[in-house]
């Protein structure tokens, strides 16, 4: 069979060629756009801070430092307050169960033992606690009310005992083993108690008058 020859006008060939080139160019541009879209640059990368931004950052940093210092000072104040409260609690506990001062301990060695009736013994001891004779009247009034200066005075309702009405009476053992019968031992303990809580017999007597106890 004889072949058939198709004659295509030159204009049409030129148009197809241009169209193919255009399509190729368009595909290339689309690919380039896609590449640009797929890897966008971060807007902040490589952008230097302006003067205003630098000042704002510096201000924020300074504010943070001030806040941290204020928090540290507040924590220190809280710690100091807790320490003061602890010291106050310890002082109150010591006052609740006072120990006689060194001068109120039982005399040892060749130290003279006070003699006389209970009031004479107490009067002779005042100076060793740093008190003048002007405190003696308050002491007499205080222990007149508490025990009548009776070595064996006992309160059946509270259990307080002796001239100073120690509660319990066994506390006076810190001043001597004969605390149940020796006036000097009881007075020594009682004066140490008064000094530790009230400072002086007149201070204790004022508390007794205001509250009915000391």
DSSP-derived secondary structure for 52-108: HHHHHHHHHHHHHHHHHHHHHHHHHHHHHHHHHHHHHHHHHHHHHSPPPPGGGSPP-
SS3 166: strand
Contact, 121 vs 115, CB < 8 A? Answer: yes
Long-range interactions of 171-174: CB distance < 8 A, separation 24+: 171/97, 174/99, 174/100
> What pLDDT score does 122 carry?
97
Q: Sorting pLDDT into bands at 50, 70 and 90, what band is 39? A: very low
CA distance 44 to 7: 62
Number of domains in the chain: 2
SS3 6: coil
155 and 83 in a single domain? The answer is no
Whether 8 is covered by a domain: the verdict is: no
> What pLDDT score does 104 carry?
40
Return mean pLDDT, the chain: 74
87 and 124 in a single domain? The answer is no
Contact, 148 vs 141, CB < 8 A? Answer: no
The parent domain of residue 159 ranges over 115-211
Whether residue 186 is predicted with pLDDT greater than 70 in this model: the reply is yes
* Concatenated DSSP letters of 17-47: HHHHHHHHHHHHHHHHHHHHHHSPPPTTTT-
Q: Kindly list the distances between the CA atom of residue 106 and the CA atoms of 18, 147, 192, in Å, as whole numbers in the listed order.
A: 128, 22, 12
Q: Sorting pLDDT into bands at 50, 70 and 90, what band is 48? A: low
Whether residue 134 is predicted with pLDDT greater than 70 in this model: the reply is yes
> What pLDDT score does 108 carry?
38
134 and 182 in a single domain? The answer is yes
């Amino acid at each position: 069979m004889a072949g058939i020859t198709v004659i295509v006008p030159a204009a049409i060939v030129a148009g197809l060629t241009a169209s193919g080139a255009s399509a190729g160019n368009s595909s290339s541009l689309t690919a380039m756009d896609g590449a640009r879209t797929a890897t966008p640059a971060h807007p902040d990368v490589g952008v230097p801070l302006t003067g205003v931004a630098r000042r704002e950052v510096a201000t924020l940093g300074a504010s943070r430092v001030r806040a941290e210092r204020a928090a540290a000072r507040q924590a220190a104040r809280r710690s100091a307050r807790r320490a003061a409260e602890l010291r106050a609690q310890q002082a109150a506990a010591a006052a609740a169960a006072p120990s006689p001062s060194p001068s109120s301990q039982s005399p040892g060695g060749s130290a003279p033992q006070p003699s006389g009736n209970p009031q004479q013994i107490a009067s002779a001891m005042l100076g060793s606690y740093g008190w003048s004779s002007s405190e003696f009247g308050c002491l007499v009034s205080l222990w007149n009310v508490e025990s009548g200066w009776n070595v064996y005075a006992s309160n059946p309702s509270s259990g307080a005992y002796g001239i100073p009405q120690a509660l319990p009476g066994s506390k006076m053992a810190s001043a001597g083993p004969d605390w149940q019968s020796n006036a000097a031992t009881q007075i020594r303990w009682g004066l140490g108690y008064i000094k530790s809580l009230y400072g002086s017999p007149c201070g204790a007597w004022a508390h007794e008058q205001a509250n009915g106890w000391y």
